[in-house]
Structure formats: C-alpha cells, structure tokens
Amino acid sequence: MMMAASVTLEKALLMTTITSAAAVSKTITTTSVRVQHHQHQHRQQRMPKGTAQCEAKLKDPSSEGFSSEREAKPNGSAYSEENVFQEHSIERVCNIGWRKGLLSDRRSVRRYNHEFVSLDGGLLSSRRNMVHTKKASNGSLIISQNGADILSLDRHYHSDTKDSSNEMAKLIDGKQIAADIRMELREQIEEWMKQGGNRAPHLTAILIGEDPASNTYVSNKMKAAADVGITSKTERYSADITEEQLLKRIEELNQDDSVDGILVQLPVPGHINERKVCNSVSCDKDVDGFNERNIGRLCLDMNTLIPCTPLGVQELIKRTEIETFGKNAVVVGRSKNVGMPIAMLLHADGRNDTCAMDATVTMCHRFTPPEELARFCRTADIIVTATGVPGLIKADMVKEGAAIIDVGITRVKDPETGKNKLVGDVDFDEVRKVAGHITPVPGGVGPMTVAMLMKNTFIAAKNLAHKRADKEK
C-alpha cells in the first residue's frame, strides 16, 4: 500500500511540475513586458542616431516596418508567426543565441507583439533595442534586428528580401556621386579662398615611366583638380630615375610651402622601394594616405588623411544610405592601401575621428579556401571586393539583398567584339539579380577615388594653412 501511495504521489508531483512548466511557457509567449522608466531613459541615452523612431515603433505594432500577423514568404506563400513559436521554443532560441555569442545573455525572452524583450524587462543586444522573428522559405526561424539578421537557426537569410525574379539590384552610380562631391568641394574651396586671403590648394603629382594606364590616371586627376579649383602640376621622370634622386625630389616638395599635396603615381619601377617612397612623403601632404604614420593613425581611429579608395568606398556606402551598424561585412583582399584600410573603416567605432561604420568584418584573401570564401560571403550584408580577379564573386555566393562594392578592375578582351574592356571582381549580370545594391565597373568606385583625392588635397591645404598661421602668432 505504501509503495502504491508513493507512486501515486510521484505521479501527482510530476503532473504538477508539467502543469507549472506549461504555465510558465504560456506566460513567456503571451505576457507583455512593461519596461521600467529608468531603463528606457538609460537606453535612450545610449541609442545611436535614428533609434528613437524605432523605440516608438516598439510601442505601436501597427507602425510601418512591423511584420503583420501573416506575411508572404519569398515563394509567395504565407506563414503565421504563431506557428513560429509552436515549432521553435523560445528557450531553444536563447540557448542557440547565447552559444553563438549573438545575444547579450542566456535569459529567456518574452514575446511582445512582434518584438522580443528579456524576461526581466531589459532588451536584447541590438542596435535598435529590438528583434523580431521571420520564417525563411526553407522553414528556418530567423531572429532579426529591425530587418537585419543576427541569428538564423538553420541558414542565414536576409529578412529585407526582394522579389529577385522581378527586381534588379539598385545601381550605385559612383560617377554621379563623385560629381556631386566635386561640386560641393568647388563651393567649399571658393568660400575658403574668400576668407583671410587663402590661396587655391595645390597638388603636385610625380609620374615615373611611360605606362599608359598611369598616364591616364594622372591626367584624370589633374582634370578633376582643375574642376574643383585646385591648381596642379605633373612632374614626369624617366623609368631609370634612381631611388635616391626620387627621394631627394620628394623631400624638396615636402619643404615647399606652395605645395599642399604630393602624389606619387603607383606602381613605381621595380628598382625603387615603394614603401620607402610612400613613407618619404610628408604626413601633412600625403594626400594618398599611404604614409605609415597616416595608416597607423587610421588603425587607431585618429584624425588623418585616409587612403582615397577606402575613403571613396566609405562615402559611397554612406551616401547610398546602406546600413552598416552591426552588419556583417566581408572584405575580399588585404592590400595595405585598399583592402586593409577598407576593413578598418568598416569595423571601427563610428564615434571616433574616422567616423567609421561599426560593422562586423571578415577579411578574406588569396589563401582563403574557395568554399570558405563562399560561406563567409553568403552571411554578409556588405561585400567589398578588391582582388583584381574577374568573376570571383558569383551569384550563389551572395545573400539576397546584400550590398556589393566592387573595387577590382581588370582589363580583359571582350569575346564578342574582340576589344579590351574593364571588368570587376563580381559577376555583375548575375549578381545584380540577387543583390540589393551593386557598383558597376567602370563607373562605381573609380570616380570616387579621384573625388576623395581632391577632398584630401583640400583638407591638407587647410591643415597646413592653420599650422602656418599658428607659427606666425
């Protein structure tokens, strides 16, 4: 009898435990959480720009940008968010997020309309202090922060998807953006020259040898300088100039107060040490941003002259209003003048002097296995490629809606016309069917590089003028 009573008691306790667990689970998935006023104020103080509007949306689930009770999947069918919670427990979401280091802690979360907040009222780790779920076409559950993925249980899938069958990527017109920047610079330089009798900024370019491409690049830079009101001069030297002669001439230009910017067109002949040449240009006049001191300052998020191509990439992204905060970015290429500085600008703290972009960055290079490169790219919200390998980035490597910045440029023969043409690292025609934004080659990053050279020259001129004025005091 006592044994039977004991078994009955165990069953009763077990049923009570199950009932309590079910009640807790139901509470987690259905009860709203009221965030304390002081917590709300604290978050508001720490929120990045633009977060206040999103906080307001948290209170109003009918606001634009929220998921409806039923939304269309990419294949045209629909899903119910109620089903999402039937198929995936919140505890599983939290555990996976914690193991992957994607959530701030391992606390359970509670459903708040279409948002999640932690059980004690504190919000999960995200820029806009909110995350929501969405179900991909393959049935996987995604937790997103305002439309940007931070966790997928099965595979990464962009929640701001577009109908790729009907919509092509938005073309980023670097040529037009560069023209806008040059117009702004022209107005700024004119205004600056009216103040205190400042002279026009001056740029001196050094061109070594007879390389046709280098000749074209320098010619374009001089035309751009004239367009914005910068005076310029090109000094041409034969390919047999010695390293000593070149370094001596650069030092003379360093000491010349009439010169604000010095540009040595790369590449230089093989018998000349390129790094030594770059380091010989005064930091104050290094408008290419290649001096080791300027690169070091960039790495430390300090105010400096930033290399023109990386600066152009940053400006393209910002003017196109591509979101970078907390996004996954992949940089393909690790050169010290392009790939590395781009990665620095993408990942660094935007509150510091470089006004960087706060992305989570993965760098790939020639020794990254192809399958790993593809895997990294598929998780990227932003891909910046600068390798000079035509067609390296294929459509099946790109996440739907991602932004593609193609810095690569290679001259190849067109099989149809037999003429030479310029191509980038991206399989443009196919990738544009998947991506959200994409730069063309030519007409994307190239014009921006020249525009940023003009910007750096103007910055250098102003900095040098201030230094001269300080010396005279």
**Is position 419 annotated as part of the catalytic site?**
no
- The sheet carrying 148-152 orders its strands as 132-135, 141-145, 148-152
3-state helix, strand, coil split of the chain in percent (to 5) is 40, 15, 40
Around Cβ 277, how many Cβ atoms within 10 Å?
A: 19
CA 151/CA 362 separation, integer angstroms: 17
Pick the catalytic residue from 134, 265, 286, 406. Answer: 265
**H or E stretch covering 383:** strand 382-385
Helix (H, G, I), strand (E, B) or coil at 20: helix
User: Cβ(131)–Cβ(115) under 8 Å?
Assistant: yes
**Is position 265 annotated as part of the catalytic site?**
yes
For residue 411, count CB atoms less than 10 angstroms from its CB and return exposed for 0-12, middle for 13-18, buried for 19 or more: exposed
User: Cβ(327)–Cβ(381) under 8 Å?
Assistant: yes
User: Cβ(374)–Cβ(389) under 8 Å?
Assistant: no
> What is the rounded (10 degree) CA torsion for 404, 410, 415, 418?
140
Helix extents (H) in 301-363: 308-319, 339-347
For residue 94, count CB atoms less than 10 angstroms from its CB and return exposed for 0-12, middle for 13-18, buried for 19 or more: buried
User: Cβ(349)–Cβ(316) under 8 Å?
Assistant: no
If phi over 0 gives left and psi between -120 and 50 gives alpha, with beta otherwise, what is residue 76?
Answer: left
Nearest to residue 246, comparing CAs of 256, 235, 257? Answer: 235
> What is the rounded (10 degree) CA torsion for 426, 431, 436, 437?
30
Using alpha carbons, list the distances in angstroms from residue 300 to 198, 315, 316, 347: 32, 20, 22, 12
**Is position 288 annotated as part of the catalytic site?**
yes
Nearest to residue 216, comparing CAs of 230, 234, 228, 229? Answer: 234
Pick the catalytic residue from 260, 284, 288, 425. Answer: 288
CA 154/CA 132 separation, integer angstroms: 16
- Please name the residue that has the structure tokens 């380091």: 279
CA 421/CA 414 separation, integer angstroms: 6
**Active-site positions?**
221, 265, 288
